[in-house]
Structure 1
């Protein structure tokens, strides 16, 4: 224990256990469990103990469970996971049963298992400031808090108040944690933690009472009541219905958490702990958990950590940014840049349009102030950083210029030729295009090595992803600078190579193209939409196409054909494309912004356009196509396209593909990203299913060769 946990007892007989695990953080793994076991045994053996303090030698308190160990758990190993979880719980429970008060001295993040350990202590004292963050975020990884977090937090706060922390994985700072009663006291600095903890212990006149947890007091009643409370019963019923509406049964973790919370209302404390362990063990080995851990922890850390940033280049800070075009994208880019402390020149064709674009930031900052996420002073300062302009000279000396005008090659070329010379020495020209090849756009540049694509997503101030596209001549130094700007803008950046549509735009189009093809073949549009929702997308493919706009989709197809980037005869879903052209040309249905597309829109909501079914429905075809085939046709298309992008080198890494699909184009969370989906589906099973779909519906469903290559090598997509 002395190598991992430091044990010291002072003259007042207060023992301080300082957690000092190997590595950057205190993680709950086998080493941690062994050290905690030794510490608990020693504490139980002490005859003159007055109190105990758990502290950390790391910048964090405890980071939580070791996800490498959790993700390694396989189906069939649930009993082993259960027993290991129960072992950890027993240690926390033994801490609670010590005859002296125990204090958690929280110096930094206490998330997951870290908060569970703290909740096992009688008093929680934390440092004020940004360093401390507490929460139980396991639901975001497809898991539930397995160290007693559900049982203790529900017992501490009651069902209603614990709900957002468990079901949504809500994380809060020290001030909020104090207000919520999750921590009991705040101190101003780390140096004040131990003295405050010792002072609290020494101040307890009744040590036995101070050492007794509320739930161990005879007659304990849950705050807010149990299931006999009508408000609690109603909340359970509404939560269950709302949960299925949101997840369509695809995310088991929230369901398991809700069920465990309900059990806390029904059974005794220790029985509830056992139920929590059983549910945890069932979740750990499920594919959804493995997918989400892989994507939202390992691969997110890889992407955010800068694995795609070329080494050997000093980090840069952008001080002055030019944004060309005050439309939806340009105004959003200007807002996030100004909020990040960058001086922005927002240039448009008229001063009125430039000022209107700046007004977007004014409204956005006002909303942030109203929500308490930004001070009025910070909002005023950020707004002052945006200069609406029509004067080219205002752009002189910009470190970056981001062009965000219409998808027109000639217009973009002209802007590059006219304004690129105004960049500072070594400055970067970036295009926000979503589909046009960067290498083609860079032909107008005098320094194509300093030309790059930076594809933002709308609305820019809310969407976390940025797709960086390298042209044929883009230099590594330029890529490094673009990556640094992405971080400065607080965006998660994936890096891809040049191709029509890059990665995200070409992939997001595939399920909506397939949906059009299904309708053109005769399948009921409502059925296509409902099955699509069950896949786990936020909205159905028809609603998504309406938002993207059929007209825009057709314009992109036609532009790529005219540029020689694709051939009309190579269209994988020609009947679906013909359907969209007919709706636009005959009925003027080009999408929501054009008055309607697949849907009709009114003040009361939206409904599928009735004539869509009248024009295309074929009862025989509809009966012949199973829901399973509809689902897999819609889901496998973007999965296959992602694999093609990886195979052809458009995607540089698997992580970029998974994170890009999750954050940018709405891949269902349970998949862990479109490429990760193949790992847990099974490579051999995926190839087989692709073959079945290809035989029935066309070669677009053939599994790319890279899947068979991985299978032969005995590898997964990592």
Structure 2
């Protein structure tokens, strides 16, 4: 069945509706080329004046290529054929004797925008949901359907590079301003305006709309060389050389300017084929599929929606939670703090973020005010009577959180959910004095809330299925990717983070320099090093979590005494201006006085690779334990949690994918070597069992968890017997 339906209007303009049967989104498939060829031929046979392509979907034009198609490419030649097929199809579209128009409403991304670029005209709606872009870099790819060739000729080299290297999605007004589209109109007249364009004949070639400086740079070889060289430097600085796609994009764009058309398109196709086969792209595509699958889980449209929320605590975390609840989820939000200043600070937090959006013309002043009107504040429980969910975001104190549960039960409805943003306390302990424990759940955000995509949802044994479903639904409305984890101290993300940070501190105490430790992990692929991360979170926050983890999980979570000395000296990190680094307007730098405070003489002993290996080994070992104990439901959840929660390098696919690539035996061998000096590195029994069997977390040779547990029990029995 064709994805295209063809209709000829009274002005002899063919209106072609794109509608992939049975799918919510239009995506490009292998069969697209043949269907397109047939439609274009029909237009020629009918001697039409023009052809308009419009979507049959209510909220997207073409959302991109079907990524599953790439997994069918077993060889580089298979991947090359996909790009060449797209090139041929879009060349055919471009060379029709009649004008073609892309009428865009909703997403036109990746291959969808490349399809539109091959049309003679583009017109889009002024709707907020209309976004255009080439985000292939986020999957470790480059646009393989001519995007690197056509986009620079429309918007200029610098703008095209900026959009493709970041995967930026451009809004309708900006698309018109830059010349990406010819017009931007209300949805009600989209088809009419597109039909009018279709009768105007083929458009004349135009130059990109550039300012004088850009025009000067892009109009000569010397200036273009500066642009490409600077782009390469920026890419290497930001990616550390871990991601090959950006450099391939630069190469293809350069080819579009410097080579003849045939060679330039060949450069793009070959770059695309090379990238499809890389482990980096496979890892990034795996993340995409995993997050797509997760959106279908715990989904229950029959439960009541969360429309009114309250946030307890006006600190940075509470302010961030209030912001995403009001802005992303569109909920009414009531902020409660013990002081009016706390409420004011929290509301100002949202106002500052929205003001930046207004200045960039992403939202109007009226929209800003309308959004702010959804946020109110109080120092008591007034206005809580009809709240659907109360999210607690205060410091880690069990008695305080239990008292808040009691207050909410007294001041809210019988079915109001109490969601705790605790980062380490077991939810069962918070709920143990509750009258309605079925309403109590953990909802753990990461800072800064408006930027970090993950939330951990933690039901205790008494949490109702309805509470879980409502919480998951609300988290998704907030724009978050939720993972449901087991109720045990530290949950998943903080549990794998704590030993990683502890090892970094131990290395510091052994004489390794602060900047060397952090740089080692940045070079490994983390966005920031562990000591810099601790400064950002707050050293006092980490110190409150550590004793909880040690009490519940054992000696291996004991934090180094160095943290206590830092707290006593009021060096809590960025918020006090001093931690492991000092923070000034000019930026941050290592505070050398830390060494004296901790009684350390900086004496580098290990190389950066060894430093990274020791810290990451702790994280991998604890991740394996979490899966074994059922803290996370699957390796997939563990990978997404680590990537979205603490910035585990996406190009490695997450801790479980990384362990699979290395092999359980190699991971165990490395841990055993370190364990000879420090028993906290002792490999988890489940990892040892996997190493013995040659098993992986993913794939056909995977050992079932129950099988591993059985082996562990058997091993334990043998040890006890001996």
Shift of 1:671: 2.6
C-alpha change, 1:17 and 1:317, in structure 2 (3 Å) is: closer
CA contact (8 A) 1:691 1:703 kept: no
Kindly indicate whether residue 621 of structure 2 is the aligned counterpart of residue 640 of structure 1.
Answer: yes
Secondary structure at the aligned position of 1:388 is classed as: strand
TM, length-normalised to structure 1: 0.86
Question: What is the aligned counterpart of 1:669 among 650, 656, 659?
Answer: 650
Kindly indicate whether residue 361 of structure 2 is the aligned counterpart of residue 378 of structure 1.
Answer: no
Residues 50-129 of structure 1: matches in 2 within 5 Å? 50-59=49-58, 60-74=60-74, 77-129=75-127
Secondary structure at the aligned position of 1:577 is classed as: coil
Shift of 1:627: 3.2
C-alpha change, 1:106 and 1:526, in structure 2 (3 Å) is: closer
Secondary structure at the aligned position of 2:123 is classed as: strand
Which residue in the other structure is 2:498 paired with? 509
Which residue in the other structure is 1:328 paired with? 316
Q: Which has the higher contact order (CA 8 A, sep 6+)?
A: 1
CA contact (8 A) 2:124 2:190 kept: no
Q: Comparing 519-528 with 434-443, which one deviates more in the overlay?
A: 519-528
Which residue in the other structure is 1:700 paired with? 681
Which residue in the other structure is 2:167 paired with? 169
Which residue in the other structure is 2:529 paired with? 540
Shift of 1:451: 0.7
Secondary structure at the aligned position of 2:450 is classed as: coil
CA contact (8 A) 1:449 1:475 kept: yes
CA contact (8 A) 2:487 2:631 kept: yes
Shift of 1:611: 5.0
Q: In 1, distance between residues paired with 2:326 and 2:185?
A: 34
C-alpha change, 1:400 and 1:132, in structure 2 (3 Å) is: closer
Q: In 2, distance between residues paired with 1:92 and 1:319?
A: 46
Q: In 2, distance between residues paired with 1:606 and 1:352?
A: 29
Residues 624-639 of structure 1: matches in 2 within 5 Å? 625-639=606-620
Q: CA RMSD in A?
A: 3.3
Residues 271-282 of structure 1: matches in 2 within 5 Å? 271-282=263-274
Which residue in the other structure is 1:218 paired with? none
C-alpha change, 1:355 and 1:43, in structure 2 (3 Å) is: closer
Q: In 2, distance between residues paired with 1:62 and 1:595?
A: 48
Q: In 2, distance between residues paired with 1:357 and 1:48?
A: 63
Kindly indicate whether residue 566 of structure 2 is the aligned counterpart of residue 577 of structure 1.
Answer: no
CA contact (8 A) 1:345 1:388 kept: yes
CA contact (8 A) 1:103 1:124 kept: yes
Shift of 1:441: 0.8
Which residue in the other structure is 1:207 paired with? none
CA contact (8 A) 2:663 2:696 kept: no
Which residue in the other structure is 2:197 paired with? 200
Which residue in the other structure is 2:293 paired with? 302
Which residue in the other structure is 2:580 paired with? 598
C-alpha change, 1:270 and 1:33, in structure 2 (3 Å) is: same
Which residue in the other structure is 2:631 paired with? 650
Which residue in the other structure is 1:530 paired with? 519
1:522-573 superposed Cα distances (whole Å, 9 cap, x missing partner):
4343322221111222222221122223333233223444xx4143xx226x
Secondary structure at the aligned position of 1:497 is classed as: coil
C-alpha change, 1:18 and 1:716, in structure 2 (3 Å) is: farther
Shift of 1:235: 2.7
Q: In 2, distance between residues paired with 1:688 and 1:41?
A: 63
1:22-72 superposed Cα distances (whole Å, 9 cap, x missing partner):
43133222222332344456667x495544444444443322222112134
CA contact (8 A) 1:143 1:284 kept: yes
CA contact (8 A) 2:104 2:123 kept: yes
C-alpha change, 1:41 and 1:363, in structure 2 (3 Å) is: closer
Which residue in the other structure is 2:22 paired with? 23
How many residues in Structure 1 have an aligned counterpart in Structure 2? 688
Shift of 1:229: 5.0
C-alpha change, 1:308 and 1:647, in structure 2 (3 Å) is: farther
CA contact (8 A) 2:244 2:275 kept: yes
Q: Comparing 447-456 with 8-17, which one deviates more in the overlay?
A: 8-17
Residues 672-691 of structure 1: matches in 2 within 5 Å? 672-681=653-662, 686=667, 690=671
Q: In 1, distance between residues paired with 2:180 and 2:681?
A: 54
Secondary structure at the aligned position of 2:310 is classed as: strand
Q: Comparing 706-715 with 628-637, which one deviates more in the overlay?
A: 706-715
1:214-267 superposed Cα distances (whole Å, 9 cap, x missing partner):
69xxxxxx9766573554333322222221111111122112112222222211
TM, length-normalised to structure 2: 0.86
Q: In 2, distance between residues paired with 1:688 and 1:264?
A: 49
Shift of 1:306: 4.2
C-alpha change, 1:702 and 1:42, in structure 2 (3 Å) is: farther
Kindly indicate whether residue 230 of structure 2 is the aligned counterpart of residue 238 of structure 1.
Answer: yes
Question: What is the aligned counterpart of 1:133 among 131, 134, 141?
Answer: 131
C-alpha change, 1:571 and 1:103, in structure 2 (3 Å) is: same
Q: Comparing 694-703 with 77-86, which one deviates more in the overlay?
A: 694-703
Question: What is the aligned counterpart of 1:458 among 426, 437, 447?
Answer: 447
CA contact (8 A) 2:384 2:411 kept: yes
Q: Comparing 685-694 with 323-332, which one deviates more in the overlay?
A: 685-694
Kindly indicate whether residue 432 of structure 2 is the aligned counterpart of residue 432 of structure 1.
Answer: no
C-alpha change, 1:211 and 1:536, in structure 2 (3 Å) is: same
Q: Comparing 649-658 with 11-20, which one deviates more in the overlay?
A: 11-20
CA contact (8 A) 1:122 1:212 kept: no
Kindly indicate whether residue 253 of structure 2 is the aligned counterpart of residue 261 of structure 1.
Answer: yes
Q: In 2, distance between residues paired with 1:536 and 1:548?
A: 19
CA contact (8 A) 1:97 1:212 kept: no
Secondary structure at the aligned position of 1:103 is classed as: strand
CA contact (8 A) 2:659 2:667 kept: yes
1:588-645 superposed Cα distances (whole Å, 9 cap, x missing partner):
64434455332234444332233556754575xx44x343322222333333333322
Q: Comparing 517-526 with 470-479, which one deviates more in the overlay?
A: 517-526
Kindly indicate whether residue 258 of structure 2 is the aligned counterpart of residue 270 of structure 1.
Answer: no
